[in-house]
């Protein structure tokens, strides 16, 4: 028998008990490990075992060696980056997916992978108010989703690029606040970073549409082809919202593809009161939201939607004989719409998570995070030693003390204590502390405790 059933049951029960205790109280760990680069590597054997080892022993070493080097993203006082929380349906579905280990490279290889992904993405699309002509697929990360958007844009403006490679300059536009994944996409698509235009943002960190128009006009007049505009809803530093209506209108004049990067804030599209942030999306060509950020789905799960799947297909389809399928028109073969062939059963976890929470619970959680951010922002505003460094449209707050050195020292002191984990950024040349709320376990008491720790750390 290839599997040891009794051993599996024992180890699974032990792991399940550990996971239950962990998810019940992730706050009992130090958020940020007290470890130095190389510590874990030095602690573990330099060579793998000759003979297989018992699951119990491996688990014991996980607890003793690996766990102390883990940063606890599930911790209720994790306010760094954008949150990414483990959840019960996420854990169960990842376990089932690992057990099935089914590889959905095309429909025949695993119909459930192809079709469940479509079902879950369809539900999410409807909840976000995206129109029915958006076709979805799940990638690992928003960086990969945005790469596919830029590849589709390349195909859109130059259908010969697939055969010939890039033979004429094509330009890509995003704001000076856009995520670095846009730069990487431009590099990977072979367009050249010299053809990426980072458009100036306004005082509220939103792309300035008139600056976009001028840049596109200049490129077109000088013989370059405006290819793609990446608009962000919820920028990484301040969660600013680029003006989609004006951006899509300008891009439309030049025939450029518009991709919306809503990796974090796309979740807020589940809230009707945020319709303003997405107005204009109906004229975009593609859209990315990461359920692994603010929708409590285990990493990795990035939902990529496009209203022009045929363009992606044109860019990527290559079908050798061994990958031929039934040819039925209802068959979805996701290998045709991107770089990867093998496909994890990511649709299973999204389906599990969407069903477990349901729209109403998601709305309740998102609204509670937004309310906590507003409360935190008002605490900042009420203390004359501090100022807000940016508007707070969602659940992320940037703030500073009056002197940069003090703000730097504050972030360092708060993180060094190990009870909270916050981040920093630079906004128009000025350093700011940043607190992003979005963790399933976070309650308003955690945010107030953070504020007390911040006040205590101010020198
Ligand atoms: N886009 C935005 C706006 C982000 O904030 C981030 C990461 O935080 C990304 C893209 C990249 O996300 P990923 O890590 O899924 O590639």
pLDDT tens-place string over residues 351-380:
999 999 999 999 999 999 999 999 999 999
One domain for residues 201 and 337:
yes
Task: Report the C-alpha gap between 148 and 181 in whole angstroms.
Answer: 11
- Both 277 and 373 in one domain: the answer is no
Percent of the chain with pLDDT over 70: 99
Q: Write phi, then psi, for 319 (nearest 5 degrees).
A: -125, 95
Instruction: Give the CATH number of the domain where residue 14 resides.
Output: 3.90.1150.10
Task: Report how far ligand 1's centroid is from the alpha carbon of 301 (Å).
Answer: 12
List the residue whose alpha carbon is closest to atom 4 of ligand 1: 236
78 and 107 inside one domain: no
On average, the pLDDT of the chain sits at: 96
Position 1 scores a pLDDT of 57
209 with 321, same domain? Answer: yes
Residues 266 and 379 in one domain: no
pLDDT band at 4 (very low <50, low <70, confident <90, very high): confident
Q: Is residue 379 in a domain? A: yes
In a domain, 259, yes or no: yes
Inside any domain, residue 350: no
Q: What is the CA radius of gyration of the chain?
A: 23
Residue bearing the CA closest to ligand 1, atom 12: 142
**370 in the same domain as 281:** no
CB 145, CB 304: distance < 8 Å: yes
Residues 72 and 29 sit within 8 Å (Cβ to Cβ): yes
At residue 339 the predicted structure's pLDDT band, cuts being 50, 70 and 90, is: very high
Q: Is residue 82 in contact with ligand 1, taking CB distance under 6 Å?
A: yes
Tell me, in angstroms, the distance from the centre of ligand 1 to residue 145's CA. Answer: 10
Tens-place pLDDT, residues 176-208: 999 999 999 999 999 999 999 999 999 999 999
pLDDT tens digits, 125-162:
999 999 999 999 999 999 999 999 999 999 999 999 99
In a domain, 352, yes or no: no
On whether both 240 and 122 belong to a single domain, the answer is yes
pLDDT band of 327, cuts 50, 70, 90 = confident
What lies within 8 Å, CB to CB, of 50 at 6+ separation is none
CA proximity to 133, closest of 313, 305, 274: 305
Identify the CA nearest to 12 among candidates 90, 99, 126. Answer: 99
Q: Check whether residue 42 and residue 188 sit in a common domain.
A: no
Cβ of 97 below 6 Å from ligand 1: no
Q: How many domains is the chain built from?
A: 3
Q: Which residues contact 169 (CB under 8 A, 6 or more apart)?
A: 192, 195, 223, 224, 225
* CA atoms within 13 Å, Cβ hemisphere of 165: 3
Locate 407 and state its tokens: 């703000």
Contact 335, 323 (CB under 8 A): yes
Q: Are residues 201 and 292 in the same domain?
A: yes
Q: Is 40 helix (H, G, I), strand (E, B) or coil?
A: helix
179 lines ligand 1 (CB under 6 A): yes
Q: In what order do the strands lie in the sheet with 257-261?
A: 135-139, 302-306, 286-289, 257-261, 225-232, 170-175, 196-199
349 belongs to a structural domain? no
pLDDT class of 86 with cuts at 50, 70, 90? confident
CATH number of the domain to which 125 belongs? 3.40.640.10
Joined tokens for residue 434:
């940043």
User: 187 with 306, same domain?
Assistant: yes
Q: Domain for residue 323, yes or no?
A: yes
Whether residue 282 is found in the same domain as residue 336: yes
CA 351 to centroid of ligand 1, rounded, Å? 22
Domain co-membership, 309 together with 211: yes
Question: Residue 186 is part of which domain span?
Answer: 103-344
The response to whether residue 142 sits with its C-beta less than 6 Å from ligand 1 reads yes
For ligand 1, mutation pick of 264, 277, 395, 423 (most atoms within 8 Å of CB): 264
Q: Are strands 135-139 and 302-306 parallel, antiparallel or unpaired?
A: antiparallel
Q: Is 290 in the pocket of ligand 1 (CB under 6 A)?
A: yes
Q: Ligand 1 mean position to 17 CA, how many Å?
A: 33
Tell me, yes or no, whether 452 lies in a domain: yes
**Residue 98 is assigned to a structural domain of this protein:** no
Asked if pLDDT for residue 230 goes beyond 60, the answer is: yes
- Do 8 and 395 form a contact (C-beta atoms < 8 A)? no
Query: What is the C-alpha to C-alpha distance for residues 116 and 113, in angstroms, rounded to an integer?
Result: 6
pLDDT at 175: 98
Closest ligand 1 atom to residue 302 Cα is 15
Q: What is the pLDDT of residue 342?
A: 95
């Amino acid at each position: 028998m290839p599997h040891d059933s009794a051993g599996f049951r024992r180890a699974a029960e032990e792991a399940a008990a550990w996971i239950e205790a962990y998810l019940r109280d992730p706050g009992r760990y130090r958020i940020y490990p007290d470890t130095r680069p190389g510590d874990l590597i030095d602690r573990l054997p330099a060579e793998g075992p000759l003979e297989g080892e018992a699951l119990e022993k491996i688990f014991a070493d996980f607890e003793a060696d690996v766990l102390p080097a883990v940063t606890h993203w599930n911790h209720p006082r994790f306010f760094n980056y954008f949150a990414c929380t483990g959840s019960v349906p996420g854990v169960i579905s990842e376990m089932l997916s690992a057990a099935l280990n089914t590889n959905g490279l095309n429909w025949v290889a695993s119909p459930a992978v192809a079709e469940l992904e479509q079902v879950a993405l369809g539900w999410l699309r409807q909840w976000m108010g995206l129109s029915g002509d958006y076709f979805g697929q799940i990638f690992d990360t928003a960086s990969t989703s945005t790469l596919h958007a830029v590849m589709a844009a390349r195909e859109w403006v130059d259908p010969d690029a697939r055969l010939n490679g890039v033979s004429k300059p094509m330009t890509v536009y995003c704001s000076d606040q856009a995520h670095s994944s846009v730069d990487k996409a431009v590099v990977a698509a072979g367009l050249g970073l010299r053809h990426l235009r980072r458009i100036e943002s306004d005082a509220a960190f939103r792309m300035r549409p008139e600056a976009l128009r001028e840049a596109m006009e200049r490129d077109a007049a000088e013989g370059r082809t405006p290819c793609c505009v990446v608009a962000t809803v919820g920028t990484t530093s301040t969660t600013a919202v680029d003006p989609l209506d004006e951006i899509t209108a300008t891009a439309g004049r030049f025939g450029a593809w518009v991709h919306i990067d809503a990796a974090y804030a796309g979740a807020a599209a589940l809230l009707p009161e945020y319709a303003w942030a997405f107005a204009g999306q109906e004229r975009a060509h593609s859209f990315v939201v990461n359920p692994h950020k603010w929708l409590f789905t285990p990493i990795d799960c990035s939902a990529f939607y496009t209203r022009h799947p045929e363009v992606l297909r044109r860019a990527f389809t290559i079908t050798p004989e061994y990958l031929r399928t039934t040819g039925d028109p209802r068959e979805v073969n996701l290998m045709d719409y991107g770089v990867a062939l093998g496909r994890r059963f990511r649709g299973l976890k999204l389906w599990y998570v969407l069903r477990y929470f349901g729209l109403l619970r998601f709305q309740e959680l998102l609204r509670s995070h937004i309310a906590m951010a507003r409360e935190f922002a008002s605490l900042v505003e009420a203390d004359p030693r501090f100022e807000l460094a940016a508007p707070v449209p969602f659940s992320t707050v940037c703030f500073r003390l009056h002197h940069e050195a003090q703000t730097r020292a504050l972030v360092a002191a708060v993180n060094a204590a190990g009870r909270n984990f916050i981040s920093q950024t630079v906004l128009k040349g000025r350093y700011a502390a940043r607190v992003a709320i979005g963790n399933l376990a976070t309650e308003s008491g955690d945010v107030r405790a953070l504020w007390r720790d911040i006040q205590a750390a101010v020198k």
